[in-house]
Protein backbone atom coordinates (compact mmCIF):
# COMPACT_ATOMS: atom_id res chain seq x y z
CA UNK A 1 0.00 0.00 0.00
CA UNK A 2 2.52 2.61 -0.98
CA UNK A 3 1.62 6.26 -0.39
CA UNK A 4 -2.10 5.66 -0.67
CA UNK A 5 -4.04 8.74 0.38
CA UNK A 6 -6.88 8.49 2.85
CA UNK A 7 -9.37 11.25 3.53
CA UNK A 8 -10.51 10.51 7.08
CA UNK A 9 -13.77 12.02 8.28
CA UNK A 10 -13.91 11.93 12.08
CA UNK A 11 -17.46 12.06 13.40
CA UNK A 12 -18.65 12.95 16.87
CA UNK A 13 -18.54 9.87 19.04
CA UNK A 14 -16.43 8.65 21.92
CA UNK A 15 -14.76 6.19 19.52
CA UNK A 16 -13.12 9.21 17.86
CA UNK A 17 -10.13 8.61 20.15
CA UNK A 18 -9.44 5.33 18.31
CA UNK A 19 -8.90 7.26 15.07
CA UNK A 20 -5.68 8.63 16.55
CA UNK A 21 -4.31 5.11 16.66
CA UNK A 22 -5.76 4.44 13.21
CA UNK A 23 -3.75 7.35 11.84
CA UNK A 24 -0.58 6.32 13.64
CA UNK A 25 -0.75 2.69 12.57
CA UNK A 26 -1.91 3.57 9.07
CA UNK A 27 1.05 5.87 8.58
CA UNK A 28 3.41 3.11 9.70
CA UNK A 29 1.98 1.10 6.83
CA UNK A 30 2.57 3.81 4.28
CA UNK A 31 -0.83 5.53 4.25
CA UNK A 32 -1.05 9.33 4.11
CA UNK A 33 -3.96 11.03 5.88
CA UNK A 34 -5.89 14.22 5.36
CA UNK A 35 -8.57 14.74 7.93
CA UNK A 36 -11.94 16.40 8.24
CA UNK A 37 -12.93 16.82 11.86
CA UNK A 38 -16.65 17.51 12.30
CA UNK A 39 -17.70 20.00 14.96
CA UNK A 40 -19.00 17.11 17.10
CA UNK A 41 -15.79 15.13 16.45
CA UNK A 42 -13.77 18.06 17.80
CA UNK A 43 -15.59 17.61 21.13
CA UNK A 44 -13.83 14.24 21.49
CA UNK A 45 -10.39 14.72 19.91
CA UNK A 46 -8.53 17.96 19.36
CA UNK A 47 -7.45 19.26 15.93
CA UNK A 48 -3.93 19.52 17.35
CA UNK A 49 -3.77 15.81 18.25
CA UNK A 50 -5.07 14.86 14.80
CA UNK A 51 -2.75 17.18 12.87
CA UNK A 52 0.28 16.18 14.97
CA UNK A 53 -0.26 12.49 14.25
CA UNK A 54 -1.19 12.92 10.59
CA UNK A 55 1.42 15.66 10.04
CA UNK A 56 -1.17 17.36 7.92
CA UNK A 57 -3.70 20.16 8.26
CA UNK A 58 -7.08 19.32 9.76
CA UNK A 59 -10.10 20.66 7.87
CA UNK A 60 -13.34 21.46 9.62
CA UNK A 61 -15.12 24.47 8.22
CA UNK A 62 -16.97 24.55 4.88
CA UNK A 63 -16.96 28.33 4.72
CA UNK A 64 -13.43 28.98 5.97
CA UNK A 65 -11.79 31.27 3.43
CA UNK A 66 -8.32 30.03 4.30
CA UNK A 67 -9.29 26.38 3.88
CA UNK A 68 -11.08 27.05 0.60
CA UNK A 69 -8.16 29.14 -0.64
CA UNK A 70 -5.72 26.33 0.12
CA UNK A 71 -7.87 23.46 -1.06
CA UNK A 72 -11.57 23.39 -1.82
CA UNK A 73 -13.94 20.70 -0.64
CA UNK A 74 -14.16 19.28 -4.14
CA UNK A 75 -10.41 18.80 -4.38
CA UNK A 76 -10.30 17.50 -0.82
CA UNK A 77 -12.71 14.74 -1.76
CA UNK A 78 -11.05 13.91 -5.08
CA UNK A 79 -7.41 13.94 -4.06
CA UNK A 80 -7.80 10.79 -1.98
CA UNK A 81 -7.73 7.13 -2.96
CA UNK A 82 -10.33 6.31 -0.32
CA UNK A 83 -12.62 8.22 2.03
CA UNK A 84 -12.98 6.67 5.50
CA UNK A 85 -15.69 7.80 7.91
CA UNK A 86 -14.75 6.82 11.48
CA UNK A 87 -16.54 6.95 13.78
CA UNK A 88 -19.62 7.18 11.58
CA UNK A 89 -22.44 8.40 13.81
CA UNK A 90 -26.13 7.72 13.17
CA UNK A 91 -26.48 11.38 12.16
CA UNK A 92 -23.61 11.31 9.67
CA UNK A 93 -24.95 8.15 8.06
CA UNK A 94 -28.45 9.66 7.87
CA UNK A 95 -27.02 12.70 6.11
CA UNK A 96 -25.07 10.51 3.71
CA UNK A 97 -28.12 8.39 2.94
CA UNK A 98 -30.21 11.50 2.27
CA UNK A 99 -27.53 13.36 0.33
CA UNK A 100 -27.36 16.35 2.67
CA UNK A 101 -24.58 18.86 2.18
CA UNK A 102 -24.73 21.31 5.05
CA UNK A 103 -21.19 21.11 6.41
CA UNK A 104 -17.73 20.22 5.15
CA UNK A 105 -17.98 16.47 5.97
CA UNK A 106 -21.36 15.90 4.30
CA UNK A 107 -20.53 18.13 1.33
CA UNK A 108 -17.27 16.31 0.73
CA UNK A 109 -18.97 12.92 1.03
CA UNK A 110 -21.53 14.03 -1.57
CA UNK A 111 -18.87 15.44 -3.89
CA UNK A 112 -16.47 12.50 -3.84
CA UNK A 113 -15.94 10.13 -6.74
CA UNK A 114 -13.82 7.76 -4.64
CA UNK A 115 -14.77 4.62 -2.67
CA UNK A 116 -16.09 5.32 0.82
CA UNK A 117 -15.60 3.08 3.87
CA UNK A 118 -17.79 3.63 6.92
CA UNK A 119 -16.99 2.43 10.48
CA UNK A 120 -20.21 2.98 12.46
CA UNK A 121 -20.17 3.66 16.19
CA UNK A 122 -23.27 4.32 18.26
CA UNK A 123 -25.46 3.12 21.09
CA UNK A 124 -26.89 -0.39 20.31
CA UNK A 125 -30.50 0.89 20.32
CA UNK A 126 -29.58 3.59 17.84
CA UNK A 127 -27.83 1.04 15.62
CA UNK A 128 -30.83 -1.32 15.70
CA UNK A 129 -33.35 1.46 15.10
CA UNK A 130 -35.26 0.91 11.84
CA UNK A 131 -34.27 4.41 10.69
CA UNK A 132 -30.56 3.60 11.04
CA UNK A 133 -30.99 0.18 9.46
CA UNK A 134 -32.84 1.80 6.54
CA UNK A 135 -29.96 4.22 6.09
CA UNK A 136 -27.41 1.39 6.24
CA UNK A 137 -29.34 -0.56 3.59
CA UNK A 138 -29.54 2.58 1.42
CA UNK A 139 -25.82 3.25 1.78
CA UNK A 140 -24.90 -0.35 1.00
CA UNK A 141 -27.07 -0.17 -2.10
CA UNK A 142 -25.18 3.01 -3.05
CA UNK A 143 -21.93 1.04 -2.93
CA UNK A 144 -20.65 2.31 0.42
CA UNK A 145 -18.35 -0.19 2.21
CA UNK A 146 -18.87 -1.02 5.89
CA UNK A 147 -16.55 -2.32 8.59
CA UNK A 148 -18.23 -3.20 11.90
CA UNK A 149 -19.78 -2.25 14.19
CA UNK A 150 -18.55 -4.81 16.71
CA UNK A 151 -20.49 -6.25 19.63
CA UNK A 152 -19.46 -5.81 23.24
CA UNK A 153 -19.43 -3.39 26.16
CA UNK A 154 -20.17 0.17 25.15
CA UNK A 155 -18.78 3.37 26.63
CA UNK A 156 -22.40 4.28 27.50
CA UNK A 157 -22.62 1.22 29.77
CA UNK A 158 -24.91 -0.82 27.52
CA UNK A 159 -24.00 -4.06 25.82
CA UNK A 160 -24.74 -4.91 22.20
CA UNK A 161 -23.75 -4.15 18.64
CA UNK A 162 -22.56 -0.61 17.97
CA UNK A 163 -18.95 -0.41 19.07
CA UNK A 164 -16.54 0.94 16.47
CA UNK A 165 -14.31 -1.81 15.19
CA UNK A 166 -10.61 -1.73 16.24
CA UNK A 167 -8.03 0.20 14.17
CA UNK A 168 -6.30 -3.02 12.99
CA UNK A 169 -9.55 -4.24 11.51
CA UNK A 170 -10.30 -0.89 9.87
CA UNK A 171 -6.81 -0.97 8.35
CA UNK A 172 -7.45 -4.47 7.02
CA UNK A 173 -10.70 -3.21 5.45
CA UNK A 174 -8.87 -0.22 3.93
CA UNK A 175 -6.28 -2.56 2.50
CA UNK A 176 -8.94 -4.89 1.11
CA UNK A 177 -10.52 -2.01 -0.81
CA UNK A 178 -7.31 -0.40 -2.03
CA UNK A 179 -5.58 -3.57 -3.18
CA UNK A 180 -7.81 -6.09 -4.97
CA UNK A 181 -7.09 -9.71 -3.87
CA UNK A 182 -5.61 -10.80 -7.20
CA UNK A 183 -3.03 -8.01 -7.09
CA UNK A 184 -1.67 -8.74 -3.63
CA UNK A 185 1.94 -9.90 -3.73
CA UNK A 186 1.39 -13.15 -1.84
CA UNK A 187 -1.94 -14.12 -3.44
CA UNK A 188 -2.06 -17.88 -3.87
CA UNK A 189 0.69 -18.51 -1.28
CA UNK A 190 0.18 -20.46 1.94
CA UNK A 191 1.90 -19.47 5.16
CA UNK A 192 2.25 -20.91 8.66
CA UNK A 193 3.17 -18.64 11.57
CA UNK A 194 3.86 -19.74 15.15
CA UNK A 195 3.37 -17.18 17.90
CA UNK A 196 3.23 -16.72 21.65
CA UNK A 197 4.63 -18.84 24.47
CA UNK A 198 3.91 -22.49 25.17
CA UNK A 199 2.63 -23.82 28.47
CA UNK A 200 4.17 -27.07 29.67
CA UNK A 201 2.02 -28.77 32.27
CA UNK A 202 3.40 -29.71 35.68
CA UNK A 203 -0.01 -30.79 36.95
CA UNK A 204 -3.60 -29.79 35.99
CA UNK A 205 -3.20 -26.27 37.39
CA UNK A 206 0.52 -25.46 37.08
CA UNK A 207 2.76 -25.01 34.10
CA UNK A 208 6.13 -23.74 32.89
CA UNK A 209 5.83 -20.71 30.59
CA UNK A 210 7.70 -17.59 29.44
CA UNK A 211 7.02 -13.90 28.93
CA UNK A 212 6.24 -13.95 25.20
CA UNK A 213 3.16 -11.83 24.40
CA UNK A 214 2.69 -13.10 20.83
CA UNK A 215 2.63 -9.54 19.47
CA UNK A 216 5.37 -10.05 16.90
CA UNK A 217 4.03 -13.36 15.59
CA UNK A 218 0.45 -12.09 15.42
CA UNK A 219 1.59 -8.95 13.58
CA UNK A 220 3.45 -11.10 11.03
CA UNK A 221 0.38 -13.31 10.50
CA UNK A 222 -1.76 -10.19 9.95
CA UNK A 223 0.76 -8.69 7.53
CA UNK A 224 1.03 -11.94 5.54
CA UNK A 225 -2.78 -12.07 5.27
CA UNK A 226 -2.90 -8.43 4.19
CA UNK A 227 -0.39 -9.31 1.47
CA UNK A 228 -2.83 -11.92 0.18
CA UNK A 229 -1.39 -15.12 1.70
CA UNK A 230 -3.61 -17.83 3.13
CA UNK A 231 -2.35 -17.88 6.70
CA UNK A 232 -2.58 -20.43 9.52
CA UNK A 233 -1.49 -18.94 12.82
CA UNK A 234 -0.58 -21.54 15.43
CA UNK A 235 -0.63 -19.67 18.69
CA UNK A 236 0.23 -20.54 22.26
CA UNK A 237 -1.84 -18.94 25.06
CA UNK A 238 -1.96 -15.15 24.49
CA UNK A 239 -4.42 -12.40 25.30
CA UNK A 240 -4.46 -10.89 21.80
CA UNK A 241 -7.43 -10.76 19.43
CA UNK A 242 -7.27 -13.01 16.36
CA UNK A 243 -5.77 -11.10 13.41
CA UNK A 244 -8.37 -10.45 10.70
CA UNK A 245 -8.45 -12.90 7.81
CA UNK A 246 -6.23 -15.51 9.51
CA UNK A 247 -7.09 -19.12 10.48
CA UNK A 248 -6.06 -19.44 14.12
CA UNK A 249 -5.18 -22.74 15.81
CA UNK A 250 -4.89 -22.37 19.58
CA UNK A 251 -2.56 -24.72 21.40
CA UNK A 252 -0.90 -24.94 24.80
CA UNK A 253 2.16 -27.17 24.67
CA UNK A 254 5.13 -27.39 22.31
CA UNK A 255 4.02 -30.82 21.21
CA UNK A 256 0.52 -29.57 20.38
CA UNK A 257 2.09 -26.66 18.49
CA UNK A 258 4.23 -29.08 16.49
CA UNK A 259 1.19 -31.22 15.65
CA UNK A 260 -0.84 -28.17 14.54
CA UNK A 261 2.05 -26.97 12.36
CA UNK A 262 2.39 -30.43 10.78
CA UNK A 263 -1.36 -30.48 10.11
CA UNK A 264 -1.16 -27.09 8.39
CA UNK A 265 1.46 -28.28 5.88
CA UNK A 266 2.10 -27.96 2.97
CA UNK A 267 2.98 -24.27 2.95
CA UNK A 268 5.18 -21.96 0.92
CA UNK A 269 6.24 -19.84 3.89
CA UNK A 270 6.86 -20.67 7.56
CA UNK A 271 7.68 -18.02 10.14
CA UNK A 272 8.44 -19.36 13.62
CA UNK A 273 8.01 -16.49 16.04
CA UNK A 274 6.80 -18.54 19.00
CA UNK A 275 8.89 -18.70 22.15
CA UNK A 276 8.61 -22.46 22.42
CA UNK A 277 9.61 -23.93 25.77
CA UNK A 278 12.76 -25.95 25.19
CA UNK A 279 11.88 -28.40 27.95
CA UNK A 280 8.79 -29.84 29.60
CA UNK A 281 8.25 -31.79 32.79
CA UNK A 282 8.97 -35.45 32.04
CA UNK A 283 5.63 -36.42 33.52
CA UNK A 284 2.67 -34.10 34.05
CA UNK A 285 0.93 -35.19 37.26
CA UNK A 286 -2.68 -36.24 36.68
CA UNK A 287 -3.89 -34.78 39.96
CA UNK A 288 -2.91 -31.51 41.55
CA UNK A 289 0.33 -31.88 43.50
CA UNK A 290 -0.35 -31.36 47.20
CA UNK A 291 2.00 -29.56 49.52
CA UNK A 292 3.54 -31.92 52.08
CA UNK A 293 2.01 -35.03 50.52
CA UNK A 294 3.61 -35.59 47.12
CA UNK A 295 5.69 -32.46 46.74
CA UNK A 296 8.37 -33.28 44.13
CA UNK A 297 11.96 -33.00 45.20
CA UNK A 298 12.98 -31.70 41.78
CA UNK A 299 11.27 -31.27 38.47
CA UNK A 300 12.62 -33.69 35.89
CA UNK A 301 12.65 -32.12 32.44
CA UNK A 302 12.82 -33.60 28.96
CA UNK A 303 13.47 -31.80 25.69
CA UNK A 304 10.62 -30.58 23.51
CA UNK A 305 10.51 -31.03 19.74
CA UNK A 306 12.15 -28.19 17.85
CA UNK A 307 9.40 -27.02 15.50
CA UNK A 308 11.55 -24.69 13.41
CA UNK A 309 14.23 -27.33 12.97
CA UNK A 310 11.55 -29.83 11.95
CA UNK A 311 10.35 -27.46 9.23
CA UNK A 312 13.83 -26.49 8.04
CA UNK A 313 14.81 -30.15 7.63
CA UNK A 314 11.39 -31.50 6.67
CA UNK A 315 11.92 -34.59 4.50
CA UNK A 316 8.85 -34.18 2.28
CA UNK A 317 7.21 -30.83 2.83
CA UNK A 318 9.87 -28.22 3.58
CA UNK A 319 8.33 -24.79 2.90
CA UNK A 320 10.08 -22.77 0.21
CA UNK A 321 11.00 -20.09 2.75
CA UNK A 322 11.63 -20.95 6.40
CA UNK A 323 12.17 -18.02 8.78
CA UNK A 324 13.12 -18.23 12.45
CA UNK A 325 13.95 -15.88 15.29
CA UNK A 326 16.99 -15.98 17.53
CA UNK A 327 16.87 -14.24 20.86
CA UNK A 328 20.42 -14.01 22.18
CA UNK A 329 22.12 -12.31 25.08
CA UNK A 330 25.70 -12.59 23.81
CA UNK A 331 27.58 -13.18 20.55
CA UNK A 332 24.36 -12.24 18.78
CA UNK A 333 25.41 -12.63 15.16
CA UNK A 334 27.65 -15.68 15.63
CA UNK A 335 25.00 -17.51 17.65
CA UNK A 336 22.28 -16.53 15.21
CA UNK A 337 24.37 -17.70 12.24
CA UNK A 338 24.93 -21.06 13.95
CA UNK A 339 21.20 -21.32 14.64
CA UNK A 340 20.42 -20.55 10.96
CA UNK A 341 22.64 -23.42 9.90
CA UNK A 342 21.58 -25.86 12.62
CA UNK A 343 17.86 -25.35 12.11
CA UNK A 344 18.01 -25.35 8.31
CA UNK A 345 16.41 -21.91 7.94
CA UNK A 346 16.61 -19.55 5.02
CA UNK A 347 16.50 -16.48 7.25
CA UNK A 348 16.95 -15.78 10.92
CA UNK A 349 15.83 -12.58 12.61
CA UNK A 350 18.24 -12.07 15.46
CA UNK A 351 17.36 -9.89 18.41
CA UNK A 352 19.58 -8.87 21.21
CA UNK A 353 17.62 -9.48 24.39
CA UNK A 354 20.41 -8.38 26.71
CA UNK A 355 19.96 -4.65 26.08
CA UNK A 356 16.34 -4.68 27.22
CA UNK A 357 15.08 -3.70 23.78
CA UNK A 358 11.72 -4.73 25.21
CA UNK A 359 11.33 -7.65 22.88
CA UNK A 360 9.24 -9.70 25.29
CA UNK A 361 5.91 -8.04 25.88
CA UNK A 362 6.97 -4.67 24.46
CA UNK A 363 5.59 -3.10 21.29
CA UNK A 364 8.93 -2.42 19.60
CA UNK A 365 11.63 -4.65 18.24
CA UNK A 366 15.08 -4.39 16.72
CA UNK A 367 16.44 -7.18 14.56
CA UNK A 368 19.25 -8.20 12.25
CA UNK A 369 18.24 -10.28 9.26
CA UNK A 370 20.67 -13.10 8.49
CA UNK A 371 20.26 -15.14 5.36
CA UNK A 372 22.19 -18.10 4.08
CA UNK A 373 23.11 -16.23 0.91
CA UNK A 374 23.22 -12.49 1.72
CA UNK A 375 25.10 -10.14 4.04
CA UNK A 376 23.61 -9.31 7.44
CA UNK A 377 21.03 -6.52 7.38
CA UNK A 378 20.60 -4.48 10.54
CA UNK A 379 17.16 -2.94 10.76
CA UNK A 380 16.54 0.07 12.97
CA UNK A 381 14.34 -0.27 16.05
CA UNK A 382 10.70 -0.09 15.02
CA UNK A 383 7.18 -0.98 16.01
CA UNK A 384 6.37 -4.70 15.79
CA UNK A 385 3.63 -3.99 13.21
CA UNK A 386 6.06 -2.06 11.06
CA UNK A 387 8.65 -4.81 11.36
CA UNK A 388 6.02 -7.33 10.27
CA UNK A 389 5.14 -5.23 7.22
CA UNK A 390 8.79 -4.89 6.30
CA UNK A 391 9.47 -8.60 6.71
CA UNK A 392 6.47 -9.48 4.57
CA UNK A 393 7.61 -7.07 1.85
CA UNK A 394 10.96 -8.90 1.87
CA UNK A 395 9.20 -12.26 1.72
CA UNK A 396 7.12 -11.10 -1.26
CA UNK A 397 10.28 -9.86 -2.98
CA UNK A 398 12.04 -13.16 -2.35
CA UNK A 399 9.15 -15.29 -3.58
CA UNK A 400 9.22 -13.32 -6.77
CA UNK A 401 5.94 -11.44 -7.18
N1 LIG B 1 11.89 -22.86 18.13
C2 LIG B 1 10.98 -23.84 17.78
N3 LIG B 1 10.83 -24.92 18.59
C4 LIG B 1 11.54 -25.04 19.74
C5 LIG B 1 12.46 -24.04 20.11
C6 LIG B 1 12.61 -22.96 19.27
O7 LIG B 1 10.33 -23.73 16.74
N8 LIG B 1 11.36 -26.10 20.51
C9 LIG B 1 12.10 -21.72 17.22
C10 LIG B 1 11.60 -20.39 17.72
O11 LIG B 1 10.28 -20.15 17.31
C12 LIG B 1 12.58 -19.44 17.07
C13 LIG B 1 13.86 -20.24 16.97
O14 LIG B 1 13.48 -21.59 17.06
O15 LIG B 1 12.18 -19.11 15.76
C16 LIG B 1 14.93 -19.92 17.93
O17 LIG B 1 14.51 -20.11 19.22
P18 LIG B 1 15.55 -19.99 20.43
O19 LIG B 1 14.80 -20.26 21.68
O20 LIG B 1 16.34 -18.73 20.30
O21 LIG B 1 16.52 -21.17 20.07
P22 LIG B 1 16.89 -22.49 20.85
O23 LIG B 1 16.56 -23.62 19.95
O24 LIG B 1 16.25 -22.49 22.17
O25 LIG B 1 18.45 -22.38 20.94
P26 LIG B 1 19.36 -21.96 22.20
O27 LIG B 1 18.78 -22.63 23.38
O28 LIG B 1 20.69 -22.46 21.78
O29 LIG B 1 19.32 -20.47 22.27
What DSSP assignment string belongs to 352-399?
Answer: ETTTT--TTT-SEE--EEEESSS--EEPPPEEHHHHHHHHHHHHHHHT
Q: How many CB atoms are closer than 10 A to CB 177?
A: 17
Residue of 208, 269, 276 best suited for mutating to test ligand 1, as the one with most atoms within 8 Å of CB: 276
Q: According to the model, what pLDDT value does residue 1 have?
A: 44
Average of per-residue pLDDT values in the chain: 90
pTM comes to 0.77
Q: According to the model, what pLDDT value does residue 386 have?
A: 82
Point out the ligand 1 atom lying closest to the alpha carbon of residue 273: 11
How far are the Cα atoms of 100, 215, 219, 369 from residue 387, in angstroms, in the given order?
A: 43, 11, 8, 11
Residue 46: name the closest of 34, 58, 55 by CA. Answer: 58
Angle between helix axes 384-398 and 18-28 (nearest 10 degrees) is 30
- Report residues of the chain scoring pLDDT below 70: 1-2, 62-71, 294-297, 355-359, 361, 401
Is the CB of residue 212 below 6 angstroms from any atom belonging to ligand 1? no
Alpha-carbon span 347 to 337, nearest angstrom: 9
Q: What is the CATH number of domain 182-398?
A: 3.40.50.10300
Q: How much distance in Å is there from the Cα of 276 to the middle of ligand 1?
A: 7
**In the chain, ranges of CATH 3.40.50.10300 domains:** 182-398
Residue 328 burial (C-beta neighbours within 10 Å; 0-12, 13-18, 19+): middle
Q: According to the model, what pLDDT value does residue 362 have?
A: 75
Q: How much distance in Å is there from the Cα of 128 to the middle of ligand 1?
A: 50
**In the chain, ranges of CATH 3.40.50.1950 domains:** 5-178
Is the CB of residue 276 below 6 angstroms from any atom belonging to ligand 1? yes
Q: According to the model, what pLDDT value does residue 368 have?
A: 95
- Residues with a catalytic annotation lie at 156
Q: Which CATH class is domain 5-178?
A: alpha beta
Q: How much distance in Å is there from the Cα of 228 to the middle of ligand 1?
A: 28
Which amino acid residue places its CA nearest to atom 27 of ligand 1? Answer: 278
Alpha-carbon span 235 to 275, nearest angstrom: 10
Residue of 208, 220, 257, 325 best suited for mutating to test ligand 1, as the one with most atoms within 8 Å of CB: 325
Residue 33: name the closest of 53, 52, 13, 5 by CA. Answer: 5
Alpha-carbon span 366 to 359, nearest angstrom: 8
Amino acid sequence: MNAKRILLVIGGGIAAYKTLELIRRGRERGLAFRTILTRAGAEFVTPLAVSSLSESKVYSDLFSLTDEAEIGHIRLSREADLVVVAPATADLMAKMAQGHADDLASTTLLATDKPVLVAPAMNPMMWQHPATQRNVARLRADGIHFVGPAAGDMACGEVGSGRMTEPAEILAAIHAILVPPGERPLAGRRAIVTSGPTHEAIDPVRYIANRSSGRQGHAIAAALAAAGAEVTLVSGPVSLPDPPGVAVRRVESARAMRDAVEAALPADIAVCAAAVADWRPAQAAEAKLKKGRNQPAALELVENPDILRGLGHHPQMRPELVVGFAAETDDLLANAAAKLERKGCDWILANDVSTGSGVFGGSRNRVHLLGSEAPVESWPEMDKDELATRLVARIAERLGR
